[in-house]
């Protein structure tokens, strides 16, 4: 049983890491119910093994490493499915994911900020295209524009978002 200060420390670390671990698992497992179970099992394993955690090292790579074993276990248990998952691939993928995960989180936060900065027609068109999944033709019809105009607005808005994301990451001290 963990002491109270260890429980608090684990809860803080897991709360920060859980969204990234969930995205990692989702990138390897298609079934979202299985993803939920794998992430939940990962959290239980992390909790049980927390006394072994070396606090001089980052928590996220450790959590992703343990999630990898849960993913491999899931693939082994569902081996009757046609999906074949190469263990060596998962190992390499896990290493790379742990390396880029902090950057992805920074970029996602920057994207959310930049989308919040959009106003008017560009924001409406981005929402219709990427949230609702509408085609350029459907958006054009809804907003009484030409499809070419919608595509041009999307292209310009994506470029604006790219510049905004770079700026946000630079402001946070990262590199874009």
67 & 154 share domain: no
89 & 57 share domain: yes
The mean pLDDT of 62-85, rounded to a whole number, is: 80
Residue 109 belongs to some domain of the structure: no
59 & 138 share domain: no
Using CA atoms, how far apart are residues 26 and 39, in angstroms rounded to an integer? Answer: 9
Q: What tokens were used for 125? A: 């068109």
Residue 113 belongs to some domain of the structure: no
What integer pLDDT is reported at residue 30 of this predicted model?
A: 84
Handedness of CA 20, 78, 82, 90 (dihedral sign): positive
Using CA atoms, how far apart are residues 92 and 102, in angstroms rounded to an integer? Answer: 17
Considering its fold, how many domains does the chain have in total?
Answer: 2
pLDDT band at 80 (very low <50, low <70, confident <90, very high): low
Using CA atoms, how far apart are residues 72 and 90, in angstroms rounded to an integer? Answer: 8
**pLDDT one-digit tens code per residue, 107-163:** 878 888 898 899 999 999 988 888 788 899 999 999 999 999 999 999 999 999 999
- Say whether pLDDT at 82 is over 60: no
What integer pLDDT is reported at residue 133 of this predicted model?
A: 83
Cβ neighbors of 87 (< 8 A, separation 6 or more) are: 72
CATH code of residue 150:
1.10.10.10
Domain range for residue 82? 1-101
The mean pLDDT of 34-59, rounded to a whole number, is: 92
DSSP string across 68-116: HHHHHHHHHHTTTSS----HHHHHHHHHHHHHHHHHHHHHHHHHHHHHH
Pinpoint the alpha helices (H) of the chain. Answer: 4-28, 32-49, 59-77, 87-117, 120-126, 136-143, 147-171
């Amino acid at each position: 049983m963990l002491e109270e200060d260890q429980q608090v420390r684990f809860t803080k670390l897991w709360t920060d890491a859980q969204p990234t671990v969930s995205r990692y698992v989702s990138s390897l497992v298609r079934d979202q119910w299985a993803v939920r179970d794998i992430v939940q099992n990962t959290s239980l394993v992390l909790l049980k093994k927390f006394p072994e955690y070396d606090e001089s090292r980052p928590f996220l790579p450790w959590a992703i490493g343990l999630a990898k074993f849960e993913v491999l276990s899931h693939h082994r248990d569902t081996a009757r499915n046609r999906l074949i998952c190469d263990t060596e691939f998962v190992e390499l993928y896990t290493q790379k994911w742990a390396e880029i995960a902090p950057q992805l989180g920074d970029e996602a936060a920057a994207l959310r900020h930049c989308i919040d900065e959009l106003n008017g027609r560009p924001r409406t068109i981005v929402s219709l295209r990427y949230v609702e999944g509408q085609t350029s033709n459907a958006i054009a019809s809804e907003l009484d524009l030409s499809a070419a105009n919608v595509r041009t607005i999307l292209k310009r808005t994506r470029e604006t978002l790219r510049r905004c994301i770079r700026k946000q990451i630079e402001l946070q001290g990262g590199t874009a």
